[in-house]
Amino acid sequence: MSFERPPREIMEKMFEIDSYKSGRSYPFWHDQLEMIYRDIDSGKFGEDAKTGEFFLAIKAIKDGSPKPENLDTLKEELADLMQAEIDKQ
């Protein structure tokens, strides 16, 4: 089975939508679980959880590579581009 490469316009829009993800490097899952355990062990619940090791580590990653504010618009534009390509066929 072979597939044709999507048009450049669609590829660029897909990259624009997903590019923020490449800047995110999360700790391994077992390290994340260890952070959560330590937070629970030290009583970090409710609003206090936002001062915990796990929350602060993940927040730093997300803040360092935020989602585009117009992500929904970008997804709609991609859907329109893809529909236009389907309509051509």
- Please give the Cα distance from 89 to 87 (Å, whole number): 5
Say what the pLDDT of residue 15 is.
Answer: 93
- What global pTM score does this model have? 0.70
**pLDDT tens series, the chain, 89 aa:** 677 888 999 999 999 999 999 889 999 999 999 999 999 999 999 999 999 999 999 999 999 999 999 999 999 999 999 999 999 88
Say what the pLDDT of residue 1 is.
Answer: 67
Task: Give domain limits for the chain.
Answer: 8-88
Which ranges in 2-70 belong to alpha helices (H)?
Answer: 8-18, 29-41, 53-64
